[in-house]
Every structure is written in structure tokens, then in C-alpha cells.
Structure 1
């Protein structure tokens, strides 16, 4: 039986997979599991609930708040705010747990529900599974004054903005920055905090109507941002996804700066200030080989994890590292955040431009991206990709042929029935050639 929770909460098509009934039942189950210690100690559990602006978030938020209150949890409904803001407020307000209703970068018809433990940290798999196991089980319903109260708390944005400003190492005076918030959860927060930091701000993708989230704007659609940066003569552009836990950037010439480059720039900045703990960056196995080579030149070690920001965070917390993230733009600065924070990342990136007087394009030369080809091979038995000897032999042969000038990575997707074949090489043609050969082997050996 497949897990209810995926790599980032429970997600699917709103009102088919993610229904009001599921949201109600899931919040009751979460209240039982996450509020257990508070109840045992005679305290009433408290939860922070936020959402992104997609239209289905309105009824799902109502269902979550109702379920929590019916289970004896006091709810602080903070409304539309980024995922990292909900994580921050969960910790800052001393709440028992937090709930975010969002499908992140997915299209508007989707939605999702994810939970944060006390302190604003993502839940371990075992706790998520315990919540799933509680669904539909009998429970003792509180009565009278023991039911929870729902507070419409709209002070969360100001608290989050103040937190971001405190994390800023220097002001952004003199910079012109284009902000693309994907018509999402950061549409109000991101432009506000950049202006308060001293930047001149140009806004696009900051007019959410419940239906337009991620539609042609944001970190998965950089064309409009690139055009706006060039047209307005801005120093850089910052792109968020729907829940603003990601940040990608665009330089003054309109060229994309991906998560690997952002991490490289911030790693060097933190090292220069003596704040990069153990001189180590945590990245996933999908980060470009160019990042690893660049960090080696800068005297910075790189620890790699499985794909997923939760695995990056686990490694960071386990070894007390200060910076980690993914090529997709999930960047975690552990001194200031417990999860990827796209607004914080964008602020620190712009602060580095202002501090050094160098352009973002110049800063991004810290690494040279090797051409990368990624193909999703469908119609195969992904469970055998790590054990089939024919596939393993082909991978070893292609890796040996690259002789350190590139790399090969085959992995089964955690969310789709596909095998991902990724090849990096000195040229795109070489990477494509190797990738095509490996895809053929995968189809031949693992085809259904």
C-alpha cells in the first residue's frame, strides 16, 4: 500500500484527491498525534494554519481549522503567507504544530496539506505515517469549553517581515530588483521586504486572484522575469514559486541563475563572514558537477544527499551545517530558517550583490555549469534500477569513459513511475549521446 504522504505532504487534485472531508479527517488525526504531549501535560495544543492564494485553499483551510478546533486545538489562522512564514511563526509563537495548505509550484487545480512540528520543522516519515494510521479511528471528542477556538491572526506577515529584515547582513540601497511572486503566497511579502531593505522594486506576478497561481509566472516560468529585468534595466530579478519556498534568479542580461549557482554564491559569502559551519555546503546528488568543482576550488566541502529538501535538512541538522539546498531553488539557511525560504534566499543574494558591488552575472561565475541532460524513462520497472546487473554495467562503463570530466546518475523517481537518467559532460552533444545509450539499456533491461 502506497503512503498517503509524499515527499512534501499530501498533494493531489483539489476536490477529488484533496477533499474537504480528507482535510477535516487529516487535521483531526494530526491533532491526536501532534497534540498528544500537550494534552498529557495539561496544556491545550495550539496550531498555526496558513495557505497560498489558490481558490481551493479557501474551503480546505476552513476544513482544517474546523477539524483542529473540534479536536480541542486552538487555531491561529494566519491566512495567505509563504510556507517558510508558517514554519517561522510556528516556532516564533511557540505553537504545538503548523499546517500549510499549498501545492507549491503545481498548477492551480492541485492543492496539498503539510504539517510542521513544534519549532517549525518538517515531520519525520514515521510521524506522518502515524497520522495516516489514525485516519478514521474512533476518538474522544471534547465538549463545551474544551473545544478549540479559531483566531483570525493577521499579524503574521509583519512578524515574518521583521524576522527577514533582521537576517539581512546589509541594506540593498541602489539596487533595482524585479520580483516575480508567481501570483502566489509571497505576492505581498516579498515586494514589501525588498522595499524596506532599500531596493527599488518592480513587481510582476504579484496579483493573485485564486486562479492564476504559477500560470506563466514564477520560478518555473522565467521568460517574463528575464524580459522585465532587461526592459527596466534592473540589477537582478528574483522568482518564487507558489508557496515561496524556492528562489531562482535572473541577472541583468536576463540569464537564469539556478539553485546551484545561488548556493555557490551564498556559500562563498558565508565563508567570507566566517558563518559557513565546518566550511561545508549540503546539496543533493542532482546538483551539477560544476558546483562540486567550484566549491573544491573555494575550499568548501560538499556533502550530498538523496533528492528532496527534507533530506538536505536532515543532514544539516544532524551535523549542524548552516547552508544547503537543491538545484531547483530550495535553499535552507539554517541560522534563520527551518525550511527552504525563497524570500530570505533572494534577500541574501541581493545583499551579496550590494555588498560586493559586483553584478550577479559576475558572482555567478563562481561555478561553470556542465551541460546536463535529464530524461525520464517511462514504462519500466523502476524498482530494479539499482539492482539490474546490465544497467549497472552500462553505468560503470559510461562513467569510466567520462574519466572525471562528467558523471552519470540513474535513479527511480519518488513521485512518478519513471527512471530518471541524468548525464553531465563537457558538451551537450556528448551528454545527449551517453544519455540516449543508457535510456536504451534501461528500456531493454527494465521494460514492462
Structure 2
């Protein structure tokens, strides 16, 4: 096992990684921006290094500063968490070129999956179902219109280099497609440095289901179980649950088999997620993207399997076998994660501010992965996620009941927060039925 780890991230995920690393006896190093100096993840690490001002480009995305911190502290490995540099293939290569262990998939796999068009084509060649769409980037609005005539409206216009729900728009007709093409291409060029655009068939009623995979040190790829991620606003997830209430045992086997094929197609190592769209009317599912990192929602998989995914990441990166039996995987109960964000609960606009009250719920089957504490400030510089509230029950009904109680017991004052939204959602008949889709939040508003 590696003996020292630099965590190239912040907030709840940095704190989460540090917790497991310290349990394993690994010396931990936190890097932080100037305004994050007093954050819990910094105080809980064995060492910390300031790497720059608030702007992510000058701190958490500053590869040179992070590598310098690793050198000065004698770190042997770097864990990137999610976001920031976690899916930056060049950074992964540079880390390894400097003699450090990269706790994540290989740079080639990151590159292959980072380009959505390339990823689509690779998956199709491997036998993973993909939605009807373009095999090559549309070079112009005219090319996009020509492609859409074969795909059929409505179409989803997507930034090829995008991810995490960014750089996407739905076009209902030619006029809408031309407008969306120009907007998404410009956004992608500005945000990702790559204006390439792809088109896929848009399904008006669809569920977002993903599968957690692990590429083990011995070369095997195993699929754990699926997660339901259909509660979204602006293509960003708000609540996830595992297992999915829409997935039968037969469909689960097909999901897991496809996820293993996806991982094997790129020689995947470490933790990753194969995201799919499920058509509830037909039971068909289609590859959406592969996230080559640890997911925000990984705790619900941990709870139903009794597996620490961060430990597994560290074991794989160290060349060690897993701490579980890959041939005897079993899921128990039902888990739900709620993303507690500093945002308005009605319109979901960011609402940063100084935290005057912060009381986390406790109890059997209740877990809080938080990045904040009383008397800290949620700034506008970073993502609005403050904490993840995770519950585990014997079945879905028990998990929902436990989530209601936990939300009622979570007290936050100062910044705006979306806990009132979760009160509404957990009593929503459509959600309770389990028969919902990605449009559920818009129907609640």
C-alpha cells in the first residue's frame, strides 16, 4: 500500500478520501486555496499546502502548484477526487512521469472516454448499446441538420468534450437545432477548448441509470450494481438511489454485462462509472458516457455492498487485490443520497453565505459526507455542494422514511439550501411510486 497521499481536491470529497486514507495508515496531504485554509479537510489532513488564490485555475486546477506540493511533502501518490483535474489525461500522465502514483484510470482511458464521439464509437464497436446519433462531429449547422434528418427529431445536441451534464441542449426542429448548434459549439469551445458537437436521439421520457465499475489490479473489470440518477435539474443530479426501482433482475444482468464490456474495451483500471439512458417504455438502454473517476454518488453503492470504494481505489493503485470477493458480490437493502447544495430550493440558483447554524442528523443507517462546519463561509468560487446526506434501509420504503427523518434533522442557517426541496420530493407520489423519469423535477415546479 502507498504510504503517503496528496488529495488534489477540496470540500467533502477531499475529506472523504482523507478519512479512508488515515484509517489505512496513509499519511495525508491536503492542498488548498487561500479562502479554504480553515476548511475541515485541511485541518484533518496530516499536512497541508497552500497552492494559490480562490480562482480554481490558480489553485485546484494549477497542475504545477499541485505537483510542487507533492514534491515538497514527499507524497508518493495523488488522488484527484472528482471535478477539477480528475479527468485531465495530461495531468495524469504528468503525475506518473514525475514518479508518482496516480489514483485513477490510465491516461489513455481518460482520453478515450473524454471525447464523447470517440467514446460512442468505441462502445458501439465493443457491443455496448448506443443511441442513434452521429459517428463524427458535425462541422456546421447544415451538417447537423442533415444528420438530424436521419436520426429524427427531437435530438440532443451535446458538446463532445463535455461531461457532468454540461454542454447539452434539446432541439425539437431545424430552427431549434441551428440555434442549439451555435450555442453549444460556442460554449464547448469556451469551456472545454473544443467546439466539437455530436447529435443523439432525444428521448422525451427517459431514466438515467449508471453502473459502478472497478478495473482491478489483476486486469479484471467487475461491475458492482446500478444507481438511479433521474432526479435532476438542468441535467445535474440532486438525488440518487441504489438499486434502481426501474431495473429488474434480468435488466440488471444486461446493464452489468454492458458495463464490463465498456471497461474492458479501454483496458480500464480503478473506479469508473458507465452512465446510460433507459427507455422505460421499451426496457432498452443506451450508453451515455463513462466517467473516469470516482462519482459524487459513490456512497450509495458502498452502503448496499459494504465496500469502501476509496480503499479499493487505493488498493488498485498500489497493485493489491481487492478487499472483497469479486465473485461473491451481493447487495443488501436500499440506499438514497441527497445532494445538499447552497442554492435556492425553488429555482436552484446558487446562494452562498456564512454558515451560522450547521447540525448534521445522526442515527442508524444515516451518513453525512460534509465539507463544511459552523462559522465557515460557502463562497461563490466553487460548486454549491455542501454535504451529501446518505441513508440506508432494509428496503426502498424504509430508506425513504429514513431520508425524511434525516432531512428534518439537518439544520442549516446562513446560506440558502435545498433541504425544503427534498421535503417536497420525498412526499411526492411520483417519486414514492418509483415510476419517475428525468422530468420529475420540472413537473414539481
What is the TM-score with the length of structure 2 in the denominator? 0.31
Determine which structure has more spread, i.e. the larger CA radius of gyration. Answer: 1
Larger fraction in helix? 1
Ranked by relative contact order (alpha carbons within 8 Å, sequence separation 6 or more), the top structure is 2
TM-score scaled to structure 1, two decimals? 0.31
